[in-house]
Amino acid sequence: MEIAFTILLFIALVATAIAIVFIKRLFAVVMLSGVFSLLAALLFIVMDAVDVAFTEAAVGGGISSVLMLGTIALTARTQKQPERYSLVPLAIVLLTGAVLIYGTLDMPNFGSPDAPAQRHIGPEYIARTPTDIDVPNIVTAVLASYRGYDTLGEVVVVFTAGLGVILLLSGLGRRRGTPYPRGVSANRDQDNAQ
């Protein structure tokens, strides 16, 4: 039953991806990419990775779609037709895909107790969390406490991304003086801000 559901989800995932490639209306593409994320989230749930599924649904299905729509509103709503079709990108994609599939052949089976992920430090986290931290969700214990450094790094990544968008797009510099005439480099904004 679970295997049939997984196969069904993968077929739907591939069908969505193919539809995304062929559809030219970007609004439909954004909606389909949201569908893609929700299907991926369902797959993660089938694999018992609920925290990852939650993130995928919230970030991939929710906020990415909104930001993509915002981008479409600023740019164009249909994809440009290429001048001519070239086979080189297709060859590169097929080759990369083949290498990735070849790489999975050496990986342990899904859920295998002999997999390095199950034998390395995971069992220790599971054994120590009840006495060390005493929270029922071991994922939270690992993310926030055992791997606190990593999560701090992730937060700094999000912070830096936000900082970049604020500096580039929100036009903070212009508030400090009169708007520059056309042709004046935006760098002067930063110079004046210092």
Partner 1 sequence: MNDHHLILRVITRMLTGPILLFGLYVQFHGDYGPGGGFQAGVIFAVGFILYGIVFSLRDLRRLIPDWIIHKLVALGVLLYAGTGIVSMLLGANFLDYNPLAGTPIGGQHLGILLVEAGVGITVFAVMLAIYYAFAGRPPSLNDEDW
Site of interaction with partner 1 (CB under 8 A):
27, 50-51, 53-55, 58-59, 62-63, 66-67, 70-75, 77, 132-137, 139-141, 143-145, 148-149, 151-152, 154-156, 158-159, 161-163, 165-166, 168-170
Closer CB to partner 1, 71 or 96, in the complex:
71
Whether 38 contacts 69, CB under 8 Å: no
- The DSSP code for 68 is H
Shortest approach of partner 1 to residue 18 CB, angstroms? 23
Q: DSSP secondary structure string, 121-168?
A: SHHHHHHHHHHHT--S-HHHIIIIIITHHHHHHHHHHHHHHHHHHHHH
Contacts of 60 (CB under 8 A, 6+ apart): 33, 34, 36, 37, 38, 40, 41
Strand partners, 25: 78
Shortest approach of partner 1 to residue 66 CB, angstroms? 6
Closer CB to partner 1, 124 or 132, in the complex:
132
Q: How far apart are CA 86 and CA 76, in angstroms?
A: 24
Closer CB to partner 1, 164 or 177, in the complex:
164
Shortest approach of partner 1 to residue 149 CB, angstroms? 6
Shortest approach of partner 1 to residue 180 CB, angstroms? 18
Closer CB to partner 1, 40 or 141, in the complex:
141
Shortest approach of partner 1 to residue 147 CB, angstroms? 10
- The DSSP code for 114 is T
Question: Crossing angle for the helix pair 26-46 and 64-74, nearest 10 degrees?
Answer: 170
Closer CB to partner 1, 116 or 177, in the complex:
177
